[in-house]
A and B are shown apart, each in its own frame.
Chain A
Amino acid sequence: MNCRNFLRTAALSSAAFAFLAFSTSANAQKKYDTGASDTEIKIGNIIPYSGPASAYGIIGKMEEAYFKMINDQGGINGRKINFVSYDDAYSPAKAVEQTRKLVESDEVLFVFGPLGTPSNTAIMKYLNAKKIPQLFVATGATKFGEYKTSPWTMGWQPAYQSEGRIFAQYAITEKPNGKIAVFYQNDDLGKDMLKGFKDGLGDKASMIVAEDSYEVSEPTIDSHIVKLKASGADIFISISTPKFAAQAIKKVAEIGWKPMFFQSNVGSSVGAVMRPAGIENSQGVLSLAYAKDALDPQWDNDEGMKKYLDFLAKYAPFANKAESSALYGYGQAQTVVQVLKQAGDDLTRANIMKQAASLKDFTTDTLLPGVKINTSATDFYPIEQLRMMRFTGEKWDVFGPPIDSKLGG
């Protein structure tokens, strides 16, 4: 090589080097952790396909179908998603076993959408110790969003405490001198939301005049309702799952009690709660929502809903559009795909977590208009906005702007 040639090569290569150095991160050197490669991203998941909570198995199937669609469209930045989903039967012991299988045997990049408070609590310590993202857990328990103690764990749906807080804010503004009766399910859902509700009331917690809880094994909850009415309350908050929510709405109407009625989001399905409770009994019940209801005719011409229904027809014919869990799985999968798109070629576990914590005004096809997903390094609660809604006629009427509970930083 002569001197001139050498100089030219040197100049060219340094120019190229400078170009590379200043170019965007997408062109930066590819970085991979276990579970990612030039052709594939391996995502692990556990969900109860069998056992007492097997109804939620549909979420896993929807996610699998969604990733199949993404792969058919060419994958994410040229990489196909390999979704490995195992059954944990809603047992914490099984959840640990299956999660370890995902991490140590299947070697997934991260764990996505594990379902249920017990299962997630059981695997949280293990995944955080191994520095493997436990992304978008399918439970609203508030403990899955504490970035300081568990920096590798992030929630997705609104935390139960968020919902409690927003109810409290609404109650204070609408009926500052009201008397509140609280009815809740005696489990993590009920207690967590109750805590949020009390936190939201703050120094007005004395508004609560009665509290009563029920067990999921109780055949009927009528006696609780009668007891709560006797307290003379004019605001009633029902933190209950579908079967009991329907019973409560019906009983409240039957005994001629007309309180301001709050129904928690988990028990607000039109098909599973409001219709069985009786449409006439359900009028005026208030609730909160963050996602659209596929049965609600008001979304018939909605762009996102159309995409969702097309998807159901093409990739998930097994799912019933009345199932809110199916919609849930779709929304969750869409969010994780966004995270992977943002991560680009830097598919390390640290970057996955970093990108999950830098979602800005992201919205899925299934979220209510105005509800945005925002996360930051100090905010590990993706969906924090909810909108108030009132049951009118045969459907929920959303009113007011999205309300932020400001649970995270």
Chain B
Amino acid sequence: MSTVQDVSTAPVVAAVPKKAMALGPLASLIILALLIVTPLFVKNFIIFQMTMWLIYAIAVLALNILTGASGQFSLGQSAFYALGAYTSAILMEHVGVNYALTLPVAGLVCFIAGFLFGLPALRLSGVYLALATFALAVAMPQLLKLGVFEHWTGGVQGLVVTKPDAPEILASLGLKVSQDMWLYFFTLLVAIVIYIFSVNLLRSRSGRAMMAIRDNEIAASAMGVDVSLYKTLAFGVSAGITGVAGGLGAIAVQFVAPDGYTIQLAIALFLGMVVGGVGWLPGSLAGAAFIVFVPNIAEHVSKGLSGAVFGVILIIIIFLLPNGARQLAYGAQSLIGKLRKN
């Protein structure tokens, strides 16, 4: 009994001061510059990988808002990712909507779905909430296969999506931009907008309310915070952002199928959040890099034991850096500070 109570009363996530949730301006600019310049010098394939990296970073960021800021767990992010991907794909292929316009729709659909799912989830907390969202992730691939929706979803066969070309205006300016390059910069733009939105959200009144709930629900409600509203809101916002990431993912991969959005994806996103540092938004980029690139490294080491190698790398990281990339960044910061003093 006591363990159960421990779980439900202790704060699930260590408090992160709100100032520490974002990077300083200088570091942000350096990273942004790198993200803009690098694709100009690498092959299309690497640009594609970087696009996937950014897309997963957006999805990890969304989970970070939910877990890091409002203290709620979710293993069901893959369901919202799938919903966003299918929304974009169906709008593009069946309705003929421009790809860029499908993203806000995907975000909105997922926001509503997340908000509605957040309502019953209110009664659950900690590990129980994680289990409820887990159920959602497990159910989603099968829901997508349902015969009722098959006309729209393509059933088990999935839907093939046409990749957008760079706008013609760039070509008329004499710039040759490949599809991959264009999609990368488009994704980067979306990612920056979402990042700025998220940072501002967490600095706002709503963000403070969410963090108050995370730190102590009873105290927060005594202070006049509408606990249920902000908890569901966090769920909705997180789901909405994940949906946008899903939509981008569908455009980049050019294909959606139920098998692409299994519980594996939800776990990968969760992993990305932990490796990046729970509650530290820039860590999403590091976490996403982990889930995109480390499996490839593991495969390079040993094909037959790639899973085991991946596991070993993960254990080492969790041992050395229990707070993920955030710890690394802070370490580097204090080191630079010391060097400056000397």
Contact = CB atoms under 8 A, between A and B. Distances in A.
Interface in B116-142: 142
Interface in A79-121: 85-87, 89-94, 96-97, 100-101, 103-105, 117-118, 121
Interface residues of B, number: 31
Contact of B145 (A90, A97, A103, A187): A187
Interface stretch (A44-52, A219-227, A279-287, A349-357): A44-52
Interface in B227-277: 249, 253-257, 259-260, 262, 264-265
A360 interface: no
Given A122-B254, A188-B157, A97 B262 contact: no
A86 B299 contact: yes
Given A50-B307, A85-B303, A104-B43, A91 B158 contact: no
Contact of B155 (A94, A103, A191): A191
Interface string B189-218: 000000000000000000000000000000
Contact of A93 (B45, B253, B303, B306): B253
Given A50-B306, A91-B260, A122 B253 contact: yes
Contacts of A105: 43, 45-46
Contacts of A118: 158, 255, 257, 259-260
Which of A50, A86, A124, A143 has most B Cβ within 10 Å? A50
Nearest to B46: A105
B48 A97 contact: yes
Interface in B268-325: 295, 299, 303-304, 306-307
A126 B45 contact: no
A171 B299 CA distance: 48
A97 B43 CA distance: 13
A278 B89 CA distance: 46
Interface string B31-42: 000000000000
A336 to B, nearest CB: 20
A93 B259 contact: no
Interface of A: 49-52, 57, 61, 85-87, 89-94, 96-97, 100-101, 103-105, 117-118, 121-122, 124-126, 143, 186-188, 191, 215, 217
Given A91-B265, A104-B43, 7 more contacts: A50-B306, A50-B307, A96-B48, A104-B45, A118-B260, A122-B253, A122-B257
Closest 6 CB pairs of A and B: A104-B45, A122-B255, A118-B257, A92-B260, A100-B45, A118-B259
Interface of B: 43-46, 48-49, 52, 142, 145, 155-158, 160, 249, 253-257, 259-260, 262, 264-265, 295, 299, 303-304, 306-307
